[in-house]
Chains A and B, each alone.
Chain A
């Protein structure tokens, strides 16, 4: 098992000093926190009917991506991410700080591949109507694809756009692989800072859930939530996830580096672990989650769990069983509130854990099944759980400094 051991001798503490959020609930920490307190959920049951999505609350992209030319070079998923990354840099107080931005290490969890639906539909329609010359597809693609669309599709061009727009000049790595890519991004960034390879890193991802091409991909596996919204825990007989649009970025920093510049932490990121359960038999995934749980360092204090459980089956039922074994930790599901933002769900979970710790309270439950219970007092440690709808399991421990 690969993991990032916490508090090894000689390892430095890693703080979360910046958070950037742009979600279906709004942009920024206050708007998201207020919506969570009010138990607001933003779903669109009509625009993609019968599929349900959590649409991005409109944001003024100009405020973080001032050049229209830059915005035009991106598709929505990149704009959301570049925007949220800017908010995270602002939150950490390092926006425009050339000394720090020239060395910051970026680890981004990304999908990509946003398609031009008109081009695809045009080709398929023409072929249905009899276009069958050998070079037909080539000719249509050569004439119809926007040259810059490719750059808006490439996974690593989210990081590329963040570097260009915000002037980042350190290192840049993009991890792919759905949900667990978000956990692995945090895991590697944490390991590099904890070991002294890096001082400061920007970590996160972004996702545009309002995409029919993505709905097709998940519809292949019957994973989309249809017809009626319900909290993640109430979907057992009506399983599926509702794609969500979200960007979530974190600034991770060694305690020494943060203190030297007078930065205040939201929380510390103590450990991130991840694994790949075989998921061949019932119980495989739950067993892996237990293994990961056992690897997290534990101390006395008030704990909670923030999970990215998707609502897809059988993963969500297995995870529910695992959570029941840790019932002393109140649970919150980000999937219910924000929808499923795939690679971004895990960084979103870390962000909400850090925010809850810094605000001295876990946000209220939003659930009809009793899985989520009230929590009294301030949480001092929150375990972030991310079990993919198909593959990959990750877990993180976020603690009060």
Chain B
């Protein structure tokens, strides 16, 4: 085995650039400093009225502005900022000339309420139905909304800005989307189709309807006061996740290509795995088999055993069901090690960035490897006695970390895991 190939003879895939943006701030430095300090990015929503809502806080990214505002435009702008940072670090290609494909995890796109209301006002009558909206939609006045609300619009814009090659893929595997975008990049490099891939995950969908949708499914925390204490993964009094926004961008390269151009290697994507749960639209199979299978597939893909994992960056949403299921399934895979390996949930501080979470948390995992320091799970004051994880509660912990497993589970039976290492195994 040479460093360029893994034990299965496939090209080793490394990370040479990372960019991140969350409710904590923009950039790796700012995010990491706040993350290890245990700061929360969750706040009371000011972007739109919160009257009548059960949940009134979120991890909004308010320091990025787009005009006219839409969740899709915000997703695109955050992705651009994160990608710019990743490309600067990687120093790959030339301006607007990235030498590989784009895999973009992005929330499903749709016409949003500000635009719908604008149409409603333009109808100019008291009773409004869709025939009325249709009558006034054509003629070119709203052509920008067609372009904005194509599902492929964010990817097409990023592909043009950064000059990625070929057909950019916009994907959704719900809360696992970020991990899936990385997996697609890893697979393309392993197949030898490309030496580099740009994997971006973004989500700017804290808007009234999205919040209401999750609220109606009883998925969100309603512990609004203080907002910073709402997300409390693994705690007995957790009551739901906190919606949040953010973006993460990773430049992946084959080890061979990265070393050939003298790039600094930030880490290795040693393994990826995914497994579908066909039990229910929003709930995991009670036996946890699909999640167990997902973790096992990921270990097998990396050619590693559970004892080689020394940190788990958990999905840890802070919903009653997820956190318990995650402990049970992790125990099934790791045995007693599940109670020894330090576990943390970044969502305690940045909230759940939904489509972006897999990307954001992969980057935090790589920063953990770089700094040999595990960020805390804040609000961990009343541990759930049924969850016996070795939670890195409330204070960051220095630790020897060589391999991290990062988990993502989503609606629709989506499960995806990644294993990230400092060096090629």
Contact = CB atoms under 8 A, between A and B. Distances in A.
A274 B166 CA distance: 7
A388 B140 CA distance: 19
Contacts of A128: 120-121, 123, 125-128
A211 B361 CA distance: 38
Interface string A119-140: 0110011011100011111110
Contacts of B42: none
Interface residues of A, number: 87
B128 to A, nearest CB: 4
Given A154-B411, A222-B143, A135 B217 contact: no
B130 A121 contact: yes
B286 interface: no
A129 B126 contact: yes
Interface stretch (A83-91, A155-163, A259-267): A155-163
Q: Of residues B145, B149, B171, which shows the largest number of chain A Cβ atoms within 10 Å of its Cβ?
A: B171
Interface of A is mostly: mixed
Contacts of B281: 73, 151, 157, 160-161, 164
Interface string A218-229: 111111100000
B134 A150 contact: no
A139 to B, nearest CB: 4
Interface stretch (B87-95, B183-191, B323-331, B367-375): B183-191
B142 interface: yes
Contact of A145 (B106, B117, B191, B216): B216
A3 interface: yes
Given A161-B281, A212-B134, A150 B170 contact: no
A127 B193 CA distance: 53
B212 A390 contact: no
Given A157-B411, A175-B169, A138 B279 contact: no
B212 A138 contact: yes
Interface in A167-215: 167-178, 180-181, 183-184, 187-188, 191-192, 195, 197, 212-213, 215
A188 B184 contact: yes
B412 interface: yes
Nearest to B129: A121
A297 B412 CA distance: 37
A2 interface: yes
Contacts, number: 266
A221 B153 CA distance: 14
B68 interface: no
Interface stretch (A12-20, A106-114, A246-254, A372-380): A106-114
B172 A221 contact: no
A275 B128 contact: no
A51 interface: yes
Given A137-B208, A197-B187, A220-B138, A164 B282 contact: no
A294 interface: no
Contacts of A163: 276-278, 412-413
B150 A138 contact: no
A111 B40 CA distance: 34
A155 B108 contact: yes
A174 B297 CA distance: 20
A273 to B, nearest CB: 8
B278 to A, nearest CB: 4
Interface residues of B, number: 86
A184 B101 CA distance: 12
Contacts of A183: 167
B142 A220 contact: yes
A212 B276 CA distance: 33
Nearest to B294: A171
A177 B121 CA distance: 29
A238 to B, nearest CB: 14
A231 B171 CA distance: 33
Contact of A139 (B52, B127, B146): B52
26 contacts: A120-B130, A121-B128, A121-B130, A124-B117, A127-B117, A137-B49, A138-B212, A141-B208, A142-B216, A145-B209, A145-B212, A149-B213, A160-B414, A167-B278, A171-B275, A175-B169, A175-B171, A176-B108, A181-B151, A181-B170, A184-B169, A216-B130, A219-B137, A221-B143, A275-B166, A392-B156
Interface of B: 49-54, 101, 106, 108-111, 113, 116-117, 119-121, 123, 125-131, 133-134, 137-140, 142-147, 149-152, 155-156, 159-160, 165-174, 180, 184, 187-188, 191, 193-194, 208-209, 212-217, 274-282, 290, 410-414
Given A128-B127, A151-B411, A197-B191, 18 more contacts: A2-B165, A141-B212, A145-B212, A151-B412, A153-B110, A156-B410, A164-B278, A173-B180, A173-B184, A174-B171, A176-B108, A180-B167, A181-B152, A219-B134, A220-B138, A221-B146, A390-B150, A392-B156
Interface of A: 1-3, 51, 73, 106, 110-113, 115, 117, 120-121, 124-125, 127-129, 133-139, 141-142, 145, 147, 149-151, 153-157, 159-161, 163-164, 167-178, 180-181, 183-184, 187-188, 191-192, 195, 197, 212-213, 215-224, 274-276, 278, 388, 390-394
